[in-house]
């Protein structure tokens, strides 16, 4: 079991997604997929160094393997944040060099750092000196008019020289001005070939491709060219896809049915609510569980109408299951 988890973890990851991949979401996804590497939302180094580190870094043991994504570009802060975070037991620490939002650019981190690979390499070195767990980089293939194999190579080379061995690459450029973060995830075209070329050029690296993966065939094709695939929106909107993918990659494993996943969430929800969480903060991540199945609309609707009510508890999910037409 553990051997399988280790093997498959290298191949499938769930992307860091602000406001989405919080610890409740990751707990839920872990019940669906025993081995995918789960990334946190981005946390800024400043929030960890100067803020309430415990609030930003705590997670459930069941989430392993779990990677923390850090945002920042001050090597001292990134190193301090890494030191604090590694004491929490994360399995990987990842530097965000892919996020194009204005807020992120004004802090000089995210995708704009692709123009400054030496600074990213300095951050990497300072961070890796603080921990034994791997420090990795998530980037785009380029920024603005910098859209070439040469640019991507010039970005990774200083990092490779600094010792970085794992790159996650969102296979489209980021346009730093004029597009919203959302548009930056759809408008620049995907270019998987650019990422495959990176792996061919630097075969010793672990290269994980990201962007637009929604079906098993596309993932099979990617895994013939690179080491792993990171899945974002599809994993969030249709989380059970992760179970299908896990079963596809490991024929010996069979997924728990969707209703069993709900049952297994109930004790977690009870515990979290007893500790002050709201049902809605957890159940909002579960809305897509039955996507594409009979009763999916009834499931979503029941939860949307009931989960935010004062005093709502895990019984809402049991009732939502019963409200599905096929439940009778």
Ligand X SMILES: Cc1cc2nc3c(=O)[nH]c(=O)nc-3n(C[C@H](O)[C@H](O)[C@H](O)COP(=O)(O)O)c2cc1C
| Residue owning tokens 């199945």 | 293
Under rule CB under 6 A, residue 128 binds ligand X: no
Q: Using CB under 6 A, which of the segments 18-26, 81-89, 295-303, 315-323 binds ligand X?
A: 18-26
DSSP 145: T
Backbone angles phi, psi at 320, to 5 degrees: -65, -40
Print the binding letters for residues 201-220 with ligand X: x by CB under 6 A, - otherwise. Answer: ---------xxxx-------
Nearer to ligand X (CB atom), residue 19 or residue 204: 19
From CA 280, how far away is CA 24, in angstroms rounded?
11
- Distance of alpha carbon 197 from alpha carbon 279, whole angstroms: 45
200/25 Cα distance (integer angstroms): 35
Minimum distance of ligand X from residue 248's CB (angstroms)? 17
Does 188 contact ligand X by CB under 6 A? Answer: no
Residue 62 neighbours by CB distance under 10 Å: 12
92 binding ligand X? (CB under 6 A): no
Site residues for ligand X, 278-317, by CB under 6 A, read none
Q: Which residue's beta carbon is nearest to the bound ligand X? A: 232
Residues composing the chain: 328
Task: Name the active-site residue from 25, 99, 112, 164.
Answer: 99
Beta bridge partners of 228: 208
Identity of the residue, 51 or 257, whose beta carbon is nearer to ligand X in the bound complex: 51
229 and 11 in contact (C-beta within 8 Å)? yes
Give least dist CB 318 to ligand X, A.
Answer: 29
Task: Based on the shown chain and the rule CB under 6 A, indicate whether residue 69 belongs to the binding site for ligand X.
Answer: yes
Nearer to ligand X among residue 14 and residue 324 (C-beta): 14
Of the pair 170, 306, the CB lying nearest ligand X is at 170
Q: What is the DSSP letter of 74?
A: -
Cα 262 to chain center, whole Å? 22
One character per residue 235-274, x = contact with ligand X (rule: CB under 6 A): ----------------------------------------
Residue 214 Rama label (left phi>0; alpha psi -120 to 50; beta) = alpha
d(CA 215, CA 15): 16
Contacts of 265 (CB under 8 A, 6+ apart): 27, 28, 31, 282, 286, 314, 317
Q: Is 99 a catalytic residue?
A: yes
| The only residue of 20, 124, 155, 299 in contact with ligand X, by rule CB under 6 A | 20
Min CB(43)–ligand X separation in Å: 9
Q: Which is nearer to ligand X, 19 or 61 (CB)?
A: 19
Which uninterrupted H or E stretch holds 162?
helix 149-162
Q: Which is nearer to ligand X, 207 or 317 (CB)?
A: 207
Task: For the CB of residue 111, give the shortest distance to ligand X in the complex, in Å.
Answer: 9
Residues binding ligand X (CB under 6 A): 15-20, 41-42, 69, 96, 98-99, 138, 170, 185, 210-213, 231-234
Catalytic residue positions? 99
């Amino acid at each position: 079991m553990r051997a399988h988890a280790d093997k498959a973890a290298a191949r499938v990851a769930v992307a860091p997604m602000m406001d989405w991949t919080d610890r409740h979401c990751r707990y839920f996804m872990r019940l669906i997929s025993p081995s995918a590497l789960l990334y946190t939302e981005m946390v800024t180094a400043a929030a960890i160094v100067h803020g309430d580190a415990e609030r930003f870094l705590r997670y459930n043991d069941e989430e392993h393997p779990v990677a923390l994504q850090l945002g920042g570009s001050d090597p001292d802060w990134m190193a301090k944040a890494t030191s604090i975070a590694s004491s929490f037991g994360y399995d990987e620490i990842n530097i965000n060099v892919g996020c194009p939002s204005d807020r992120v650019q004004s802090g000089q981190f995210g995708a704009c750092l692709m123009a400054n690979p030496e600074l990213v390499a300095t951050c990497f070195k300072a961070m890796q000196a603080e921990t034994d767990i791997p420090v990795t980089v998530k980037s785009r293939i380029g920024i603005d008019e910098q859209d070439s194999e040469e640019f991507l190579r010039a970005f990774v080379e200083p990092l490779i020289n600094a010792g970085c061995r794992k790159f996650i690459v969102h296979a489209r450029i980021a346009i730093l001005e004029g597009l919203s973060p959302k548009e930056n995830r759809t408008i620049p075209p995907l270019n998987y070939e650019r990422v495959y070329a990176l792996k061919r050029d630097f075969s010793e690296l672990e290269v994980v491709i990201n962007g637009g993966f929604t079906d098993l065939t596309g993932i099979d094709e990617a895994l013939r060219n690179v080491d792993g695939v990171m899945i974002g929106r599809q994993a969030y909107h249709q989380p059970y896809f992760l179970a299908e993918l896990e079963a596809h990659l490991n024929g010996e494993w069979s997924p728990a049915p969707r209703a069993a996943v709900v049952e297994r969430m109930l004790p977690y929800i009870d515990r979290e609510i007893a500790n002050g969480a709201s049902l809605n903060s957890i159940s909002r991540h579960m809305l897509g569980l039955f996507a594409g199945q009979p009763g999916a609309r009834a499931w979503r609707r029941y939860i949307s109408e009931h989960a935010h009510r004062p005093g709502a508890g895990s019984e809402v999910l049991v009732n939502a299951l019963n409200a599905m037409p096929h439940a009778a």
